[in-house]
C-alpha cells in the first residue's frame, strides 16, 4: 500500500491557498472516487447518468455555448473599457486645444453632452 500513502502525501503536500483551490481539490477527489466505483461496478445509477450526460452531444453544445457567451462578455467588458479610455483621450485633447486657443480655464465639464 505505499501507493495509497504516496497519493495521500501528494494531496496534502501544501495547504490550499483559496476557497476555489479547496473546491477544485474536493471535485478532483470526488471524480477519482466515482471513477473507482465505476471501474469496480459499484457506481450508483445517478453517478452513471451524470457521466453519460457529460458525454452527450447536447451537453457538449451547451458547454460550448457557455464558453462562447463567456468570451462575448469578456469582449464587451474590454470594449467598454476601451471606449472609456478613448473618451478620456478626447476630453484631454479638447481641453488641450482649448488652452492652445487661449481658454486656459476650460475644464472637462464644458464638454459634457449629457
Query: Per-residue pLDDT for the chain (114 aa), expressed as one digit of tens each?
Result: 445 555 555 555 677 688 889 888 998 999 899 999 999 999 999 999 888 887 888 888 998 999 999 999 999 999 999 999 999 999 999 888 888 887 766 554 555 554
Angle, in degrees to the nearest 10, between helices 57-100 and 45-55 = 60
pLDDT value, residue 58: 84
**Is-contact 25 38, C-beta < 8 A?**
no
pLDDT value, residue 73: 95
pLDDT value, residue 60: 85
Any idea where the domains of the chain sit in the sequence? 17-55, 71-114
pLDDT value, residue 102: 78
Amino acid at each position: 500500500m505505499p501507493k495509497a500513502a504516496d497519493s495521500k502525501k501528494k494531496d496534502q503536500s501544501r495547504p490550499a491557498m483559496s476557497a476555489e483551490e479547496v473546491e477544485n481539490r474536493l471535485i478532483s477527489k470526488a471524480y477519482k472516487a466515482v471513477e473507482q466505483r465505476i471501474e469496480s461496478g459499484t457506481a450508483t445509477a445517478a453517478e452513471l447518468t451524470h457521466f453519460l450526460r457529460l458525454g452527450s452531444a447536447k451537453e457538449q453544445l451547451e458547454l460550448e455555448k457557455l464558453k462562447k457567451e463567456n468570451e462575448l462578455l469578456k469582449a464587451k467588458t474590454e470594449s467598454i473599457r476601451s471606449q472609456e479610455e478613448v473618451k478620456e483621450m478626447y476630453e484631454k485633447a479638447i481641453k488641450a486645444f482649448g488652452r492652445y486657443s487661449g481658454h486656459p480655464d476650460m475644464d472637462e465639464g464644458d464638454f459634457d453632452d449629457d
